Amino acid sequence: MSSSTGLTLHSMGFSRWLNRSVGFFVFFILDIVDFLLCFIYRTLDFFFESEWKPCYCCPPPEAKQAAAGGNRGRKMIVSERSGEYSKVVSLTRTKIHLDEISDTLYSRPSLLAKLVKCFKKNAVECSDERSPSTKKKTLLTVNSTVVEKLQRTPRWSDCHCTFCTSWLSSSNSSLFVNVQQPKDNKAQENVVFIHGFLSSSTFWTETLFPNFSDSAKSNYRFLAVDLLGYGKSPKPNDSLYTLKEHLEMIERSVISQFRLKTFHVVAHSLGCILALALAAKRPGAIKSITLLAPPYYSVPKGVQATQYVMRQMAPKEVWPPMAFAASVASWYEHLSRTVSLVLCKNHHLLEFLTKLLTRNRMRTYLIEGFLCHTHNASWHTLHNIIFGSGSKIEAYLDHVRDNVNCDVSVFHGGRDELIPVECSYGVKRRVPRARIHIVPDKDHITIVVGRQKEFAGELELIWRRSSTT
């Protein structure tokens, strides 16, 4: 091995050590800040909403079981310690299955949590020695009380602007769907676009829709959906935003409402999981699947899938910045709520400042998609779908390989720092017929933005190829 190679390896090793060392102290401080914010938000929630609001800081193990128990109504209240804390859960069906709730909501190990747990354990042991017969057992009850006003009332920390609350003025609880179709309404085929995490339908409508050829515009009906909790779609503050809820809303608002018998699917990031789940559920309806930066991590045997995916996407490192941002959003419920409070609640101001500083040269549709959501929606979607699908996505890919007879194409930016290129190669190993396209010098967003004309042409080629097979 040459001396230059040895120096390079040594430098890389030192960089990793420095990143982890600095990260250890930074995230320990963030652990403390998030712990303090927990009490601050409980106080503020009680002040503004006249009741204590629960969080996932220290829930009992039985919490998931209670959520999974289901009830016969459309809502239930999961309460701890005889109602001291309660969470109203909105149900779109009669039961929430246990595997729909990711354990990463409740279990996010940290040094501070270990210290607190150790302190509590010692305190309990001391208490048991004094009075062993008075050991208390935490009980979790499920109350079927219906609280209608919580479903449609935004929380005090959410944005109350007309754009973010437009769904409240409609009695229709369907998702918002942006439709572009031929003038004669005689489209030969349909294409469903599913956006990624912290995004909206504008990711497609502002980039691809204007750049499709006249031929495509006259033959295809394009349907770009705002997912539950994003854009102009409903943002119920009492939903758990599970995979099943997202799928049911897409089926009801897009497939059933527009009577789609067959359709192509184009999905980005988080949307890839929903697209694969949709293909597994409706194999005969899918004409082609196009995935952009799919978050598929091959989980080693014997490893808990949800925790593994969370650590891969949010490794608790301060560098690169994308990893740090993902770590804060994933590990810290109250810090991420603070970011949402500052940014999302003031998104109009940020849009104005962006236009002012760039002299209107920069389109703000990405800001709209990035900020027009609630913390409850982003927090639960991140954990219950992106992390929670860690043990499911392989089964979806296997189903697509064996039971869905359609073209599968995967695009990935060569410089994607959020989801590594290896994820797309993993899809190829699982579905050998999948065509992989690695686009050099593009990242998680610029895989589309900045090359929309080229990508629109690539999609049209995929659809034509699918129609002839």
Cis peptide before 320 (omega within 30 of 0): yes
Q: Which helix (H) or strand (E) holds 116?
A: helix 111-130
Of 239, 373, 444, 466, the catalytic one is: 444
Is 402 an annotated catalytic residue? Answer: no
Number of residues assigned to the chain: 469
Q: Name the residue with tokens 């090793």.
A: 13
Residue 43 tokens read as: 């106080």
Q: What is the spatial distance between Cα 64 and Cα 105, in angstroms, rounded to a whole number?
A: 10
Q: What is the spatial distance between Cα 231 and Cα 432, in angstroms, rounded to a whole number?
A: 35
Of 31, 34, 79, 195, the catalytic one is: 195
Of 416, 424, 443, 466, the catalytic one is: 416
Is 407 an annotated catalytic residue? Answer: no
What single-letter DSSP state applies at residue 83? T
- In the sheet that holds 75-80, the strands lie side by side as 85-90, 75-80, 140-143
Is 10 an annotated catalytic residue? Answer: no
Q: What is the spatial distance between Cα 469 and Cα 466, in angstroms, rounded to a whole number?
A: 5
Q: How many Cβ atoms from other residues are within 10 Å of residue 269's Cβ? A: 25
Of 102, 199, 253, 269, the catalytic one is: 269
Q: What is the spatial distance between Cα 231 and Cα 378, in angstroms, rounded to a whole number?
A: 12
> What residues are paired with 264 via a beta bridge?
191, 288
Q: What is the spatial distance between Cα 307 and Cα 348, in angstroms, rounded to a whole number?
A: 36
Q: What is the spatial distance between Cα 414 and Cα 232, in angstroms, rounded to a whole number?
A: 32
Q: Using only the alpha carbons of the chain, give its radius of gyration.
A: 23
Is 389 an annotated catalytic residue? Answer: no
- CB-CB contact of 361 with 175 (8 Å): no
The answer for residues whose C-beta is within 8 angstroms of residue 429's C-beta and 6 or more apart is 298
**Which residues participate in catalysis according to the annotation?**
195, 269, 416, 444
